[in-house]
Amino acid sequence: MKIIEIGTLFLCFSVFFSSSFTISYAKLFTPRFPSSIIKAEQLSVSAKSNNGNKLYRAKYFTQILDHFNFNPASYQTFQHRYLINDTYWGGPEKNSPIFVYTGNEGDIEWFAQNTGFMFDIAPSFKALLVFIEHRFYGKSIPFGGNKDIAYSNATTLGYLTSTQALADYATLILDLKKNLTAVDSPVVVFGGSYGGMLAAWFRLKYPHVAIGALASSAPILNFENITSPYSFNNIITRDFRSESENCYKVIKGSWEQIDDTASQPGGLDLLRKSFKICKNYIDADALEGWLRTAFVYTAMTDYPIPTNFLNPLPAYPVKQMCKAIDDPATGNDTFAKLYGAANIYYNYTGSATCNDLADDSPDPHGLDMWVWQACTEMIMPTSGNNKESIFPESQWSYARRAEWCNDSYGIDPRPIWITTVFGGHDIYRALKRYGSNIIFFNGLRDPWSGGGVLKNISESIVAIVAEKGAHHVDLRYATSEDPKWLQDVREREVNIISNWISQYYHDLAQDNL
């Protein structure tokens, strides 16, 4: 199986080629989770602002293109989209808090709709909710909103960086607070996956703007010479192997069988029929990439409840995949077993009549330009496979990534830039000396957890680790089906955030004496 790893999208997430006060407030503010839960199924009715609008309103801010230079091009602007919900806000008079989601690599509406935790807790905190879109994604496209121009070459795409995005967020938040006459309202930032990385980095770089950050499933350590390139696939392997040794062995042995079958006369037709592939182009690499994507994303989103995040999935989808593989009705037919497993990810609703491996329709979540970020600064090794891996044995190759990026964009990646700007090496020693008020959540079922912060760094930089947790599961809407461990995670997060805000109001009161 040939895999050229250009980057794995987080939410995200495509694998290429292969979200004490002053005395008068102290008694009023006692948020406890989950006292004011908005159920997901009630959202269309319950989550309306006072003027009748639904979940959020879209607004635009005139954003500067380049925050770090003063040449003529730097003064260009673009329309930067953000979503806002003031249903629960206590208002500027009470200095009520503002909760901000630091947008990921895609359409901000998708992230807002999948970050129910913020809506669930907003009533208790009387918080204003703001979701800010990442530049070059969704509708926040520079160069007049024209993607053809914005995405055309390295000259225009050069403005797509994490540091520019963080500066966008800081500029927008400060302007919004000023316009709302809410300069003393505390801001807490939230983010999941890449958005979680941005949330953590925002707190470190702009501590005067945000008093704290919840960074969920944020692999800030998944960079050069920090996290093993085998970690990502080792965790996927562990997920499936923990459900069934037979499940693990069937998947592990399937790649050679697919290659052998494809090389035989009539083999591709047999594969097409076995996997119900639509009548379009198919080869072994395409089929293996299709299967690999299903296993990777199912491991990432191995949630304890049914979801419709990437695709409609049942609760504990890894377990369901392995049940399909272990089904006695399939006998020794490896392809029937794999087809049943892939159907869990690709066709759980049963609505598809065939599987289209050549589907080139536009990505509905607008993740297009992550490939640029994965070619510039987001060099996150994840493709290594050892002998025990569920995937064929392979090594991570920076040279292969660099070659592809140079051919595609005429650029060379900068693999040490992220750790130069934000740190990463010796983080447990360094961060406790200059950082504070960050929650790092990681679920150990999530392959990205290998690059996450898994132990406390200081009293206020806290790691919450859930053995059965998946990719930013804590940020999803609360439901009656949530296991107790997940309820406990969210309650702990709420209590920590409450303490941050309480301390902020205490300090504000002291300053005003």
Q: Is 471 noted as a catalytic residue in this protein?
A: yes
260 is known as an active-site residue = no
Give the three-class secondary structure for 188: strand
User: Is 365 among the residues known to form the active site?
Assistant: no
Contact 231, 195 (CB under 8 A): no
User: CA triplet 240, 329, 243: central angle to 5 degrees?
Assistant: 15
- Upstream peptide bond of 447 is cis (omega within 30 degrees of 0): no
DSSP annotation of 128: E
What Cα–Cα distance (Å) separates residue 226 from each residue in 176, 215, 397, 423, 471?
38, 19, 16, 11, 20
Query: Collapsing DSSP states into helix, strand and coil, what is residue 307?
Result: strand
Q: Which of 34, 52, 40 is nearest to 123 (CA)?
A: 34
Catalytic residue among 14, 18, 19, 193: 193
Query: What CA–CA distance (Å, rounded) separates 187 from 181?
Result: 14
**Phi, psi angle pair for 364, to nearest 5°:** -70, -15
Alpha-carbon distance of 111 to 49, in angstroms, equals 19
- Cβ neighbors of 347 (< 8 A, separation 6 or more) are 355
Long-range own/partner contacts, residues 174-177 (CB < 8 A, 24 or more apart): 174/209, 175/61, 176/61, 176/82, 176/98, 176/130, 177/98
Q: Rounded to the nearest 5°, which phi and psi values hold at 215?
A: -110, 100
Q: Phi-psi region for residue 142, left (φ > 0), alpha (ψ -120 to 50) or beta?
A: beta
**List 471, 472, 474, 498, catalytic entry:** 471
- Whole-Å CA distances, 447 to 393, 412, 443: 17, 27, 9
Which of 339, 341, 343, 338 lies closest to 254, judged by CA?
Answer: 338
Phi-psi region of 405 (alpha: psi -120 to 50; beta: other; left: phi over 0): alpha
Catalytic, out of 239, 446, 474, 482: 446
Asked if 82 contacts 132 with a C-beta cutoff of 8 angstroms, the reply is: yes
Element of type H or E holding 63: strand 57-64
Left (φ > 0), alpha (ψ -120 to 50) or beta: where does 145 sit? left
Please answer whether residues 134 and 30 qualify as being in contact, where contact means their C-beta atoms are separated by less than 8 angstroms.
no
Closest CA to 296 of 218, 239, 246: 239
Q: 164, 372 in Cβ contact below 8 A? A: no
Q: List, by residue number, the catalytic residues.
A: 193, 446, 471
